[in-house]
Structures are given as C-alpha cells and as structure tokens.
Structure 1
Amino acid sequence: MHSFEQKPIAEYTEQAYYEYAQYVIQNRAIPKLEDGLKPVQRRILFAMSELGLRSTSKPKKSARTIGDVLGKFHPHGDTACYEAMVLMAQDFSYRYPLVEGQGNWGAIDAPKSFAAMRYTEAKLSPYAQLLLKDLNPHTTEWGPNFDGTLREPITLPARLPNILLNGASGIAVGLATDIPPHNIKEIGNACIALLKKPSLSSQALAEILPGPDYPTGGEIINSAAELEAIYRSGQGQIKQRASYQIDDTALTINALPHQVSSSKVIQQIADLMIGKKLPLVKNLRDESDENAQVAIVLSLKNSRVSGDDIMHTLFAETDLEKSHKVNITYISPEKKPVQTGVLPLLLSWLVFQENTLIKGLQHQLSITESRLHIIAGLVIVFEFLDEVIKIIRHEDNPKPVLMARFSLSEEQAHAILETKLKHLAKLEAHKLQEEQQNLKSLAESLKQLLEDPQARKKHIIKSIRQDLADFGDERRSKIIERKPASRTSIPQTIPKEAITILLSEKHWVRAAKGHDADIEKVSFKTGDSLAVSFKGYTHWPCILFDDSGIAYTLATHELPSARSHGEPVTKMISPSGTILPRILCGPLEQPVLLASSLGYGFISSIQALSTRNRAGKKVLSLGEASIAYAKPLREVTYLALFTQQGRLLIIPTADVPSLAKGKGNKLIQIHKKELIDNVDSLVRIQPLAADDILVVHSGKRTFTQPPKAWDAYIGTRGQRGAFLPRGYRRVTDTEIDSPNQDSI
C-alpha cells in the first residue's frame, strides 16, 4: 500500500505559492542588477555566443538559435522565446539592440509583424559583446542547466550597466518592474563621476544623468525637479510625447512615444476626423518608409491654422502623449528583489564591476604565473640541453629523472617532454626569454591592480571611456519641460463660423449656417416643430437645460446640418429629465444669468456650465421651482423682474451674486405656497442699462417706462416689488429702446 505525506491544506498552499513566487521573481520576470537581463534573454545571448554568432560572424537561422536555447537551457515555449529574441533585435524596442537580425523583424507600425523564425537570421550585435566579454567560469557565477548536463552563466560580466541602458519591464508575484532606457554616454559619465566621488548627491547626479532616453526619440516633458525626484525614489511617471514639424499647411509627426504603434495612432487620428473633432485637418496620410520610420502627415486647410493647437488636441486625445511608469526594481547581487533609486543602483553595480574585475585579474594572474612557471622549466632545457637530451634518450621513464636532476615540478617536466625538436633552436630560446620578461611585467601590473583600489578604479574608468568611444551616441529624446495636455476642448482648432442652432419640440437638434438663415423654410419630421433657435458660432459650446436644473454641453461644430432633420439630443447627451426649450451658445467667459420661478438667481458663465460628461452637470438647485430665466447677460446696471401677479422690481445688477452653481440669492419675493398653487412666480427678467427705455407688452397694449419713471419700481434684492398699472399686469413680452442695445 502506498504511503503519502500528509500536510494541512493551508500549510501546503502557503509553501507552494511561496516557491512559485520565488521562481517567478528570480527566474522569469525581474532582471538582475549585474547584466540587466532576465533568464531567457541571458540564455539566448549565451547560446548565440556558443554557436559562434558574434557580430563579425555570418548570421544563422533564428530557428537554430531558438532550438539550442530550448534544448539546452530554457525548456519553455518556442513562440515566447522567439518573441524575446525579436524584441532584443528591434531598434525601436531596445535603445541598444543585443541581436542583429536579417529579414523581417517587425516595424514600429506593427511590432508583432515579424516573420517566423525559419525565415529570419540573426547574430549578436556589437553592443552585446560588452555583456559577454571575458565570460568564463572564473569571472562570473555559473550553475547547472535544467537537466544538469551542461553549465550556464547565472550572470554575464557586463562592462556597462545594461539594466539602465536598455531598461526592463516585467510583472512577477507581488512585484513589478519598469526601468526606462538611458543614453550610454550619460550612464557612462555617471559611473565615472561616482568612481571619482562615491559621495555624489542625487542632485549632482541629475546634472549628469538628466533623464531617460527612449529609442523612438520624442520629447520628455517632465520638469527637472520631477525627474530628479523620480530618480531619487525610483518611482514615478515619465511623460513623453511625439515630436513634430510644421511646414506651411503640412504637419508631420516624425517621432512617437516609446512602445506606441504608428498604425494605432493613425487610426486614432482618423477616428477624430470622422467624429469632426479635427475640422481644420483636411487629409491624413502615412509617408513612413525605410528612410523615415515615422512620417505621419496631416494636411491643414490653410496656413493660418495653428499646427501647435492641432497637436495639443492630439496629445490630449491620442497616444501621441503617453505616461511611462517608473518602478526601479531588480534582483540584487544578494539575490533579493529590491526597489531603489538610480544612485544606489549605480553604486551597487560599480561594486559588482569591481568584484568582476578582481576575479578576472586573479584568473589572469593565475594563468600568467602558471605560464612563467612552465617557462622557468623550459629555460633549463636550453641551459642543459645535451644532458636533458641524454636523459630522454637513455631513460625508460625520463620524467622523474628530470624532476630529480633539475628540481622540476611535474608540470615543468611534462612541458619539457612535450617540447618539439624544432623549438630547441637558438632563436626559440631568445623568444622564450622575451616572453618571460613580458609575462613578469604583466604579473607585476596585475598584482598592482589587485592590491591598489585606486588603480582598479582608474582601470574601470579607462575601460568605460573606451566603451563610450566605441558605442556612444547622441541623445534621442529631448527633455523639454511642458505642461501635460488636458482633455478639454481647444477652441482655436475649431473654425469660427456663424450658425443658427435649432431645437425642435421633440428635442431634435441641428445647425443652419449663418445668422440670417430662413427658419420658416426649415422642415421638420411629421408631428414635430421648432421649439427654440439661437444664434452663435461653431467655436462656442452649446448649452441645453433639463427641468431638474442640469446643464448639458453639445459640441457646436459637430451639430448636424439643417439640411437634414438633425439628430435627437439623446445621441449626444444622456438627460435625466425633460429637455427645456432653452439654448445658450457663447464664449467661455460670457456671463449668464440664471433664475428660478421662485425668484432665486445668480450670475454664472458659459465655462462654469460646460461639461464633457454626457450625464450633464447640476448647476441650478430648483426644488419645487422651475427655470424661469437662463440667458447671456450683457453689461447692464439693473435687472427688471416681472411676476405672474403683475409686480415689477428693478434691482442693481451688482446685488446679484456670481456663483458656479447652486440656488442663488433671493432676487424678488415669491411665496412658496403661491408658487405651488400657481398663483405667483417669476415670469420674466429684462436687463437694463442706465439710459435704456423699458417697453412692456401686455397683449396688444404697450407700456413705456423711461429711466426717470423707474423710481416707483426700484428697490433692493428680495423685495416684493410694485404692481404695474391696471391693464398691463399680464406681461407677455418686454424689450428695451436704446441706441446702445446689445445684440445678445
């Protein structure tokens, strides 16, 4: 009978999950500090090195490399492994590609459009040699492969901090990493500065290493203070946007944010054009080719159109502006996941680099001393050549005789016996002595480097400077502090055209061109008719109200043409009440007077009423009342308030508060019970300038009040007002007679 180990389920699951988490963190998703690579990347590079696919060699089929990687070091899916290899070959994905490919390796407009591994060829890039140089079991840590039949490097002896040069991203169990790429010159100079002054502050480091450098270029718009804070903490967000140039009526986007597909951006811009959000853009085309990876051209309607304003809209609405999360997490040399800033990372990497150098020097010194030991034995051959030859000729086992006669070690005796006769010439003796002198000098220099930390630092600095000379290039991503784009409408990008907005009784909306449109000739659907019209401009927002005091905003320039029956407003907004026959259309700074039938009111503005929310914005608290007045307010001195009972109160405009939303203050006294019983309410408001003549219409009768006759009605805010003369208390309309009358 089989016996099984028994454990409580809680203990078993905890242990299993812990082991799984450890594996994912250390062997899959998080890069190591030393070489900045994940295991699959390291194994691909090592397998290519073992295949002899150096930068100077002829490339081989990618399938050959992937086969070796899977069969010897990484027994996982071939597709995932090949995709990791592809990423290392894409110059728009990696700042410094590690693989040099031939064939279709994808493009910036379709990163995953690469050909199958049987069609592509690859070899190591020149930069990859920096990670593999001096790779041997003596300079870095090695371990067994998955089946124990081979050995593989646990880390590569990278000559530069690749973890910052190419960056890294990954998600593990409870951990994630997002390290941006950087410029090799700036990283190298930062390392040199820290070697010279380990106590360098983060502020001083920021002057040498100002920010990331993405492979696709573009602009980094964070401020210097923001970048310094991100690098100090190791966490934050880098904001990157596309770069562009304007040439007359052509706007060309020539660089995209990192990991943004040009095909996706083109689709996003096209959707905006279809949605009439880019009315000043005439055409869109993609002129990208092998000479220009990115060339998205927008044709503008005329040269007076502001390309900068168009781009501001695109930054807000598309992936042309993108935020990159920064989370500098890596596996430390102590094999623990840590999250640090850039300064501790570089200091830790420099310690690794010095330890790697020490191991390499010790290995090289060991080889040198071993060779010197052999040469010391070979010199004896030339000093006692005849005796050595005699011993070899006459002795059955000459090795122990030679060792005893000349006090040789076994290695020296073996080297003498393996020496060919042609090497016993006098010239060979001279070469041997010359080699001995050179090796002694080399051994002395190696010992000096091992014993003197300052000498080692100078050696590392010299190596870094040589690498910068070989691989250094200029920064691609410019760092220019700018304000991030917001998702607000940009009036400058909308044509300024006069229109007349029409709202029907059944809440269908449309716009006729011009202010002189013949509304009487406009047709409506059967059973529908005009409710209200309003004259405005396409670059002004259009405001509607419902019976609960909620304001809704329509994009005026997107309204359907009056040639059609229009569209229901519910296609553009989601009203919670009944839409009222009231329209506002004006510039954002335009004051608006809002009042309820209960006599409360305040002055707001078009901007305060505007919203991008389809559900609208609550602006007027009504309670039992309804909206009595909602119109633009010109510069006036007084407000004439008319009630249902025929009262008139004229109050100074200065007494009316300015609010963004709310109930407002009491403008005229209306009793709530009278409002509920439909006995009294505020029915009309007429703004008045000091010299205006007030004209009141009551049916066919007209009542005229010049300014000098206002005294009987002028009062303070909140009063009841005085009755109009008999016969004029049922007010049907009001107007003003003034030479300075505003058209609003």
Structure 2
Amino acid sequence: MEEQRIIRSEYSEIMQQSYIDYAMSVIVARALPDIRDGLKPVQRRTLYDMYELGIRYDRPYRKSARIVGDTMGKYHPHGDSSIYDCLVVMAQNFKKELPLVDGHGNFGTIEGDSAAAMRYTEARLARVTQEAFLADLDKDIVDFVPNFDATEKEPAVLPVKIPNFLVNGSEGIAVGMATSTPPHNLAEVIDAQIALMQDETLSTRQLMRYVKGPDFPTGGIVINKDELAAIYETGEGKIRIRGKVETEKAKNGHINLIISEIPYTMIGAGIGKFCADVAALAEKKVTNDIIDISNQSSKEGIRIVIELKKDTDVENFTNLLYKKTKLEDTFGVNMLAIYNGRPETMGLKSILQANIDFQFETARRKYTTLLQKETDKKEVQEGLIKACNVIDLVIEILRGSKTRAQAKDCLVNGVTDGINFKSRESVVMASQLHFTERQADAILEMRLYKLIGLELDALIKEHEETVANIYRYEDILEDRTSMSMVIQEELRSIRNEYKQKRKTEVGQFDEAVYEEKPEEEIDVAFIMDRFGYAKTIDATTYDKNFDTIKNDFKYSFKIKNTSRVCVFTHLGNLHTIKVQDLPAGKMRDKGVPIDNVSNYDTTKEQIIAVLPQSSLNIYRLLFVTKSAMMKIVSGGEFDVTRKLVAATKLSDGDELLSVSVVTDEESCVLYTENGYALRFLLEELPDQKKTAVGVHGMNLAKNDSVSDMWLLKPEESREVAIGEKSFDIGTIKIAGRNTKGSKLKLK
C-alpha cells in the first residue's frame, strides 16, 4: 500500500496563492487582450470557430445561436451570454472602428437598445476579418494549443496583420487592473507602423504625425490635443471629448441647436440621460432659453434637437451643456495588454513595435512553410520532367513489375530483379535510375494525359515558376529588408482596401466657460401649509389675500426670488431651500412637499421654524431648547449655501423647542410641562455662535421640560392659550435668569 503523507501549510499562504492563481487566470485568460492580435480569448475563439464552421463573408449567414453553442462547446466554456455579447459588440459599427462580424438582424442600437436573442439574429465573418485576421492559418503561422478538454486545437493567437489593439481599442476589467484603449483610424495606424518599420528611431511625437489621436466611431471632438503626446508616451491619461454641435434656424424664428455627433462615452443609455439632463436644466431654471428638446436620431445618424428662444446666446448655452451635461466627457486611457505573457501598460511606439515583431515572426513562419512546400513541389516536378524524358523506360518498368513496391524500388534504387524487360539495354538503363521517394510516388500516380505535349510544356512552365518562388522565399527569409518590404506591401493593400475617413476632430480648445445670466431680483411670497406643502406666489397676490393666507397656512412671508428659505428642525438642523427650486403657483395650487426640495427627513425631524434667509442678516435669533438652554445668535451666521448644516449644538437627549426673531422685545417667558413660568429680560442672555450649546434660561425641576416660549415687548399685555385655559403672560413679574420661576394659577 502506497504511503500517504499529510502536508501541513499555513492557511493564509494557501489563500494567497489561490487568489494569485485566480487573478492571473482572469487577467490572462479572460479580461485583457493580447498585444499581438488585440483580441481577448472569447473574441479570438468566436472568430476562429466561425472560420472553422466555414461562415465566411461570401457565404450565407448562420444563426448566432449555432455560433455561440459551437464556440462554447469547443473552446470557451464560460456561458453563452458572454460569447453572444462578444459577437454582438464585434458587429456594432458604433462601438468598433473596424467591425469584425457581419451581423444580420437586430444587433442593438447606439441609443442603448439591446440586441435580439441569439435565436433570431444571424452572422458571418466580415471580409476584413477573413483577409487580415484569419488568413494563412494553414501555413503553421501561429502556435495551436489544446482546448479546455484537450479534444480540439485552437490558435494561441490569431495571425492579425494590423495593429488591432489600437484600431478597435478595448475595454476590460480584470482583478486589480483594467484596460481602456480608444479606437484609432486604420489608415493612420498602418501609416505609423510602416514609418516605424522604415525608421526604428522615430519617437512617439514623430509617430503622431501619422496618428493624430483617437478616432471614435461616434465622431465628436477631442479637445485636449496638447496632452495626447504624454498619453501616447506613457499609455495612460485622460482624453476629453465633446459632441459636435451645429445651429439652424427654425420656421418660427427660434434657433435649433443640433447635436449630430456624441462623445463615445455617451453610447447607449447616455443619450437618454443627456436629454433628461437638458430637460432638468429648464425645470430647475438653470436656463430659461430652452423651449423643447427632441431626439430625432435614426439609422442615418444622431440628431438631437434643442429648440431655443430667439435671443439665446448660443455659444454661452453650448458651454452650459459642456459644463452641466455629458456633452463633454472624459475617456480614461490605460493601454494595458498581455505582452510576453504578462500584463503591461504600453505607449504608442511600444505597441507598434510589438506588432512589427509579431508580423516578422508570422512572416518568417509563413515563408518557411511556403518554401518547404515549393521545395517539395520542385522535387516532384523535376522527377516528372525527368520521367517524361524516359517515359518509354518507365512504362516498360511498370508493365514488367508484379507489384507497386517492386516498381518503386526500381525507380528509386535501380533494382531490376524480377522485372520483365524487353531488352538488355532497358535493364542497364533501369539500373541507373535514382528517383527520390517523393518523385517515385508522383510517377506512379501520374495520369497518362500528362504525356500530352501541351501538358508537358505546362509542367515545365510550372517548374520555372516554382524555382522563382523558391528564390523569392529564400530572399525574404534571408534578408530582413526584403521581408519588411513584403509586410509593408500587405499593410498598404489592407489600408487601401479598408481605409475610412477620420470621424473624430482633434484640436486644442479652451475650457468651456458659462456665464450665468443674473436673474432679475423680485419680491415673491413663500407659503407652506400644515402638511408641509410649499410654493411661492406673486407678492401682489399675497398682499390681497393676507388675512386668508395667515389663517390657512402655517408659515408665510415675503422673500426675494434669489434668496433661500431656512427650515429649522427639532434636531438642531438647518435646511436651506432655494426659492427658485420651489414651484411658482397660484393660491389654489397644492405646491410641493418640502422634503422633495431639501434634505429634510419627514420620518425623523419636525419643523419648528421657517424663516427667510434674506432677512436674517439684520436680525438676531433666539434659540430655546426643551432643557431650557438658551442663546442669541446673529442671523448672519445662517447665510449659508449648503443644503444642510447644524443650526445649534444640542446636549444628549435635548431637542430644539423654538427659533424666534428678536426685534424690539424686552423679555421672554418660559413655561414648563409642570406648569411653572419664568419671565426674565433678554439682556441676560449672551450673544453666542451657532456652534455653542447656550446658557441655562431656567432652573428646571427633575423630569420637567420647557413646553412654550413667548417674547414680550415692554408693558405688553397678551392673553395666551395654555391647554383649555388662557392667561395674561404680561402679568408675570420679571425675575432673574436661571431661577425656578413660579407656578401659574390658571383660570
């Protein structure tokens, strides 16, 4: 019985190694493209499977489900959705500079509509894929490796003839790293590669005479041209892109702003979000220039129309869109790829150089294979020509031999034993034959029609072509310059066949500056009912209905339309609300819940005061808590722009009871839950900052708390309701602050 040993290991070490193995598997085998062919494994396997299935560009389309199933079963056992998503993206001309798949059916739209299910769509290889990505696979041009279950062979890399990593770009998230490469113009990238092949000393800046910058399928404008050199040098950076904006006159004299090209990052749901963001600018009154917005995009291209007022400053409005929406956006560049089996961030020159090295390697393997085939062909051709010159002897050997092996032995080694010849002379001639094994096989399989004179002439001509090919292939393999010329010629052929005009404009533009139009400052009235619904109304309407408003609404006051409303809550918070964010309505309009336009939480907070911010600068505010902590704070401290700030500091368990504006009042009255009242002069309270806790206003008994607070002018008499009874608080004698007060005798 075999002896078994227990291997003890630290758990953390096993976890660490397992995580590293997993991370490298994701990085190399799934998420990152290979620098040589610019493809991720799922893309490479899908294209190769289509090639193996014979779904060529000049043959009928096949169901996508068939392609996905075959790829999953043979090469990529990671789920059908990832394979189909890959197939869809490779067919979308708005995502790929050079689509690799010719899709038939609904393969999604630039506006974010998803592709139809794989059982409905069909696909085949694009012509460029077949000619520039999959050609010469039968010439031992790349290594083949076993698939996941070792039942098939798949290429470790496709023999791509162009720098596809740059042309089509790539995006992928691995473990701890991500790749993000923008697409580029095919003709520019090929010209740069040819230039580098001709002069390896070219710098990145010199190569950028050919590669102007990214060329996004959606067009747009790259606005930071001066930063591109550093991005292409390091392989990292941020590209700023804008949509293309044009103007046209509408029939009614208005101005139509036309967005005909969008940033690459806006593909999909970004278009709908952009339209919503533009509409929000009008709803939030950031601009009053917008009349209407409509998305009129179609198969012909993008067309988003924003209808503007006649007197709109178009340039200023366009800058507003750049600043406040995704019409100007950033594309993060990180040109990370698998290079020599390791992830590496590469610049423009190193990417092109890696592709050049790959082209020389595949060319060497290709022409080595072709040379071997031509050499073998030459050997056979020479044997057939030689056989035709002694055809009578060959026929005599064949007729006189009893077996094929006997005839072949005679042709190769001159062995005549057992063969019937017509004459002694034939025996002597046969014994001098020295054909090679391959030549002998070709002679034995040769058909009689090859003896026709014209066929013999064709054979001789073919032999001459073979000799010329051998000479050419040897020259290519022995002379790097010759091989370079061949590669360059192939590149030029691909460029001329598939080149497209540049779609993306590249330039250096200043940052968009939007000048907000100063809004005309007018008086409006803020009103809020007891349910928390608020709105603004015209100041004149407020004056005419003053008595009704005071009776029907809990809070109401005049305020400037450019100011803010301050909402104080029992938790000591101050919520500020822009008056512009409140709906302007009529008396009958319901308004909007106050929590919809602020950070106020109706489930946790209670409003204790609502005041106009514009008036606070000239007033002082009195803060009173339930534990009788009091202070006076300058109203200017609440002239803030943040939506939520702390209005005061509270002790644990304490709550803010009231916030009141102090004008010409002389004294205040505190009344407690247990029925005690204290009146003292306001001058006894210190002026403090909003961050202070305050001072004791009343010496409370245990388990007692302040329930009400009133302000009184000198010699003022006022009846207040306390429960179901009333009391004239003006009769309470003035005492000292922080005393117990006296028990009220209510009538």
User: What's the TM-score, normalizing by structure 2?
Assistant: 0.73
Aligned position for 1:141: 143
Question: Whole-Å Cα distance in 1 between the matches of residues 203 and 226 of structure 2?
Answer: 14
AA matched with 1:360: K
Aligned position for 2:516: 491
- Deviation for aligned residue 1:241: 2.7
Q: Contact 1:509 / 1:560 at 8 angstroms: preserved in 2? A: no
Aligned position for 1:284: 293
Q: Contact 2:536 / 2:582 at 8 angstroms: preserved in 1? A: no
- Deviation for aligned residue 1:111: 4.0
Q: Per-residue displacement from partner, 1:339-362 (whole Å, max 9, x unpaired)?
A: 222221111111111111111111
Moved more, 159-168 or 273-282: 273-282
Aligned position for 2:409: 400
Question: Whole-Å Cα distance in 2 between the matches of residues 485 and 559 of structure 1?
Answer: 30
Q: Contact 1:179 / 1:328 at 8 angstroms: preserved in 2? A: yes
- Deviation for aligned residue 1:126: 1.7
Q: How does 1:43-82 map to 2 (within 5 A)?
A: 43-82=45-84
The equivalent position to 1:298 in structure 2, one of 302, 306, 310, is 306
AA matched with 1:501: V
The equivalent position to 1:367 in structure 2, one of 373, 382, 396, is 373
SS of the residue corresponding to residue 107 of structure 1 reads: coil
- Deviation for aligned residue 1:238: 2.0
Q: Contact 1:139 / 1:360 at 8 angstroms: preserved in 2? A: yes
Aligned position for 2:38: 36
SS of the residue corresponding to residue 219 of structure 2 reads: coil
- Deviation for aligned residue 1:155: 0.4
Q: Contact 1:87 / 1:94 at 8 angstroms: preserved in 2? A: yes
Aligned position for 1:263: 272
1:350 and 2:326 correspond: no
Q: Contact 2:139 / 2:369 at 8 angstroms: preserved in 1? A: no
Aligned position for 1:171: 173
The equivalent position to 2:259 in structure 1, one of 241, 253, 261, is 253
- Deviation for aligned residue 1:78: 1.4
Aligned position for 2:97: 95
Q: Percent identity among equivalent residues?
A: 29
Q: Contact 2:573 / 2:645 at 8 angstroms: preserved in 1? A: no
Aligned position for 1:615: 644
Moved more, 270-279 or 184-193: 270-279
SS of the residue corresponding to residue 440 of structure 2 reads: helix
5+ residue gaps, structure 1, are 586-591, 619-625, 630-641, 646-673, 682-698, 700-744
AA matched with 2:644: A
Q: Per-residue displacement from partner, 1:498-530 (whole Å, max 9, x unpaired)?
A: 6423245999865445x8776343552636588
Q: Per-residue displacement from partner, 1:665-700 (whole Å, max 9, x unpaired)?
A: xxxxxxxxx99636999xxxxxxxxxxxxxxxxx9x
Question: Whole-Å Cα distance in 1 between the matches of residues 619 and 521 of structure 2?
Answer: 28
Moved more, 85-94 or 496-505: 496-505
Decide whether aligned partners of structure 1 residues 531 and 63 sit closer, same or farther in structure 2, where only a CA change above 3 A counts.
Answer: closer
Decide whether aligned partners of structure 1 residues 679 and 308 sit closer, same or farther in structure 2, where only a CA change above 3 A counts.
Answer: closer
Aligned position for 2:450: 423
Question: Whole-Å Cα distance in 1 between the matches of residues 682 and 230 of structure 2?
Answer: 61
1:542 and 2:551 correspond: no
Q: Per-residue displacement from partner, 1:107-131 (whole Å, max 9, x unpaired)?
A: 112242x111121111111221211
Q: How does 1:147-158 map to 2 (within 5 A)?
A: 147-158=149-160
Number of equivalenced pairs:
612
Decide whether aligned partners of structure 1 residues 482 and 569 sit closer, same or farther in structure 2, where only a CA change above 3 A counts.
Answer: farther
AA matched with 1:419: M
The equivalent position to 1:457 in structure 2, one of 484, 504, 518, is 484
Larger-Rg structure? 2
AA matched with 1:38: K
Aligned position for 2:736: none
- Deviation for aligned residue 1:19: 2.3
Decide whether aligned partners of structure 1 residues 50 and 571 sit closer, same or farther in structure 2, where only a CA change above 3 A counts.
Answer: closer
Q: How does 1:342-741 map to 2 (within 5 A)?
A: 342-396=348-402, 397-404=406-413, 405-483=432-510, 491-492=516-517, 499-503=522-526, 510-512=535-537, 519-521=543-545, 524=549, 526=551, 528=553, 532-534=557-559, 541-543=562-564, 552=576, 554=578, 556=580, 559-561=583-585, 563=587, 564=589, 571-574=596-599, 581-584=611-614, 611=641, 613-615=642-644, 677=684
AA matched with 1:437: E
Question: Whole-Å Cα distance in 1 between the matches of residues 163 and 459 of structure 2?
Answer: 41
Q: Contact 1:88 / 1:99 at 8 angstroms: preserved in 2? A: yes
- Deviation for aligned residue 1:456: 2.0
SS of the residue corresponding to residue 294 of structure 2 reads: strand
Q: Per-residue displacement from partner, 1:54-97 (whole Å, max 9, x unpaired)?
A: 21222111122122212221223112211111111111121211
Decide whether aligned partners of structure 1 residues 135 and 567 sit closer, same or farther in structure 2, where only a CA change above 3 A counts.
Answer: same
Moved more, 223-232 or 422-431: 223-232
Q: Contact 2:581 / 2:597 at 8 angstroms: preserved in 1? A: no
The equivalent position to 2:206 in structure 1, one of 183, 204, 207, is 204
Q: Contact 1:245 / 1:252 at 8 angstroms: preserved in 2? A: yes
Question: Whole-Å Cα distance in 2 between the matches of residues 34 and 454 of structure 1?
Answer: 21
Question: Whole-Å Cα distance in 2 between the matches of residues 25 and 580 of structure 1?
Answer: 58
Decide whether aligned partners of structure 1 residues 99 and 567 sit closer, same or farther in structure 2, where only a CA change above 3 A counts.
Answer: closer
Question: Whole-Å Cα distance in 1 between the matches of residues 158 and 211 of structure 2?
Answer: 25
AA matched with 1:82: Y
Q: Contact 1:500 / 1:512 at 8 angstroms: preserved in 2? A: no
Q: Contact 1:543 / 1:610 at 8 angstroms: preserved in 2? A: no
Decide whether aligned partners of structure 1 residues 350 and 568 sit closer, same or farther in structure 2, where only a CA change above 3 A counts.
Answer: same
Q: Per-residue displacement from partner, 1:612-661 (whole Å, max 9, x unpaired)?
A: x422699xxxxxxx9999xxxxxxxxxxxx9999xxxxxxxxxxxxxxxx
Moved more, 523-532 or 8-17: 523-532
AA matched with 1:21: A
AA matched with 2:244: S
Decide whether aligned partners of structure 1 residues 105 and 410 sit closer, same or farther in structure 2, where only a CA change above 3 A counts.
Answer: same
Q: Contact 1:533 / 1:583 at 8 angstroms: preserved in 2? A: no
Aligned position for 1:727: none
SS of the residue corresponding to residue 189 of structure 2 reads: helix
Question: Whole-Å Cα distance in 1 between the matches of residues 260 and 596 of structure 2?
Answer: 37
Question: Whole-Å Cα distance in 2 between the matches of residues 680 and 274 of structure 1?
Answer: 41
SS of the residue corresponding to residue 381 of structure 1 reads: helix
Decide whether aligned partners of structure 1 residues 72 and 529 sit closer, same or farther in structure 2, where only a CA change above 3 A counts.
Answer: closer
Question: Whole-Å Cα distance in 1 between the matches of residues 687 and 45 of structure 2?
Answer: 86
Decide whether aligned partners of structure 1 residues 500 and 566 sit closer, same or farther in structure 2, where only a CA change above 3 A counts.
Answer: farther
Q: Contact 1:217 / 1:257 at 8 angstroms: preserved in 2? A: yes
- Deviation for aligned residue 1:273: 4.6
Aligned position for 1:186: 188
Q: Contact 2:57 / 2:127 at 8 angstroms: preserved in 1? A: yes
AA matched with 2:335: I
Q: Contact 2:564 / 2:579 at 8 angstroms: preserved in 1? A: no
- Deviation for aligned residue 1:532: 4.8
Question: Whole-Å Cα distance in 2 between the matches of residues 281 and 5 of structure 1?
Answer: 76
AA matched with 1:384: V
Decide whether aligned partners of structure 1 residues 565 and 169 sit closer, same or farther in structure 2, where only a CA change above 3 A counts.
Answer: closer
Moved more, 527-536 or 454-463: 527-536
Decide whether aligned partners of structure 1 residues 32 and 387 sit closer, same or farther in structure 2, where only a CA change above 3 A counts.
Answer: same
Question: Whole-Å Cα distance in 2 between the matches of residues 172 and 183 of structure 1?
Answer: 27
Question: Whole-Å Cα distance in 1 between the matches of residues 177 and 554 of structure 2?
Answer: 63
Q: Per-residue displacement from partner, 1:423-480 (whole Å, max 9, x unpaired)?
A: 1111111111111111212211211111222222222222211111111111112224
AA matched with 1:280: D
SS of the residue corresponding to residue 491 of structure 1 reads: coil
Q: Contact 2:27 / 2:343 at 8 angstroms: preserved in 1? A: yes
SS of the residue corresponding to residue 207 of structure 1 reads: coil
Moved more, 524-533 or 468-477: 524-533
Question: Whole-Å Cα distance in 2 between the matches of residues 504 and 64 of structure 1?
Answer: 66
Aligned position for 1:234: 235
Q: Contact 2:137 / 2:159 at 8 angstroms: preserved in 1? A: yes
Decide whether aligned partners of structure 1 residues 530 and 121 sit closer, same or farther in structure 2, where only a CA change above 3 A counts.
Answer: closer
The equivalent position to 1:326 in structure 2, one of 330, 333, 336, is 333
Decide whether aligned partners of structure 1 residues 529 and 139 sit closer, same or farther in structure 2, where only a CA change above 3 A counts.
Answer: closer
Q: Contact 1:595 / 1:627 at 8 angstroms: preserved in 2? A: no
Q: Contact 1:593 / 1:602 at 8 angstroms: preserved in 2? A: yes
Q: How does 1:107-126 map to 2 (within 5 A)?
A: 107-112=109-114, 114-126=115-127
